[in-house]
């Protein structure tokens, strides 16, 4: 499976989501969508990234853009993380990493000398017709949400 390329239509996918509803890309047609992949709930970088998207949520909504976060964590973990951080957007659980693989975000990583395959922090901006418009890989959290917001505004 190859990663999506800019201006290519993204294959529909659905995942269990917080809020007790399944989430599907197809159901978002008519809205731009930010799909941000992050390694793990309740870790410092992932928390800061979610907070940045939370704090800019109204500006994204004004740009007709929906935000969703995706990680391999369980739905129960996501529910607690979302409530604790007061995220106004849904978190999607990709425990089998199927969607992570679709977007090619599973990469070799090293932590304390231990090598493993994990989620590389990445963000994808999909337009209202379901086409990938921009992607960010190996994301650094500081300033990232603002950069994604500017790109989303350019689609309006």
Chain segment 31-43, per-residue pLDDT in tens: 999 999 999 999 9
Look at residue 30 in the predicted model and tell me its pLDDT: 96
Q: Please tell me what DSSP assigns to residue 74.
A: -
Torsion of CA 143, 147, 148, 154, to 10 degrees: 160
Of the two residues 3 and 12, the one the predictor is more confident about is 12
Active site residue 46: yes
How far is CA 9 from each of CA 21, 44, 65, 79, 151, rounded to the nearest angstrom? Answer: 24, 33, 17, 30, 18
pLDDT of 57 over the 90 cut? yes
Q: Report the share of the chain in percent with pLDDT over 90.
A: 86
Grade residue 2 by pLDDT with cuts at 50, 70 and 90. very low
- Choosing from 15, 17, 35, 46, the catalytic residue is 46
Look at residue 7 in the predicted model and tell me its pLDDT: 66
Look at residue 1 in the predicted model and tell me its pLDDT: 40
Q: Rounded mean pLDDT of the chain?
A: 94
Strands annotated E in 13-98: 14-17, 21-24, 32-37, 65-71, 90-93
């Amino acid at each position: 499976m190859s990663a999506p390329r800019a201006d290519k239509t993204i294959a529909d996918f659905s995942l269990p989501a917080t809020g007790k509803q399944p989430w599907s890309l197809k159901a978002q047609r008519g809205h731009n969508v930010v799909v941000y992949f992050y390694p793990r709930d309740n870790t410092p970088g992932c928390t800061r990234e979610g907070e940045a998207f939370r704090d800019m949520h109204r500006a994204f909504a004004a740009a007709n853009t929906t935000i969703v976060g995706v990680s391999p964590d369980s739905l129960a973990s996501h529910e607690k993380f979302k409530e604790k951080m007061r995220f106004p957007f849904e978190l999607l659980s990709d425990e089998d990493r199927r969607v992570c693989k679709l977007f090619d975000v599973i990469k070799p990583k090293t932590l304390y000398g231990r090598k493993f395959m994990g989620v590389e922090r990445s963000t994808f901006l999909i337009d209202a017709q379901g086409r990938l418009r921009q992607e960010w890989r190996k994301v650094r959290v500081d300033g990232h949400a603002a950069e994604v917001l500017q790109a989303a505004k350019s689609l309006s």
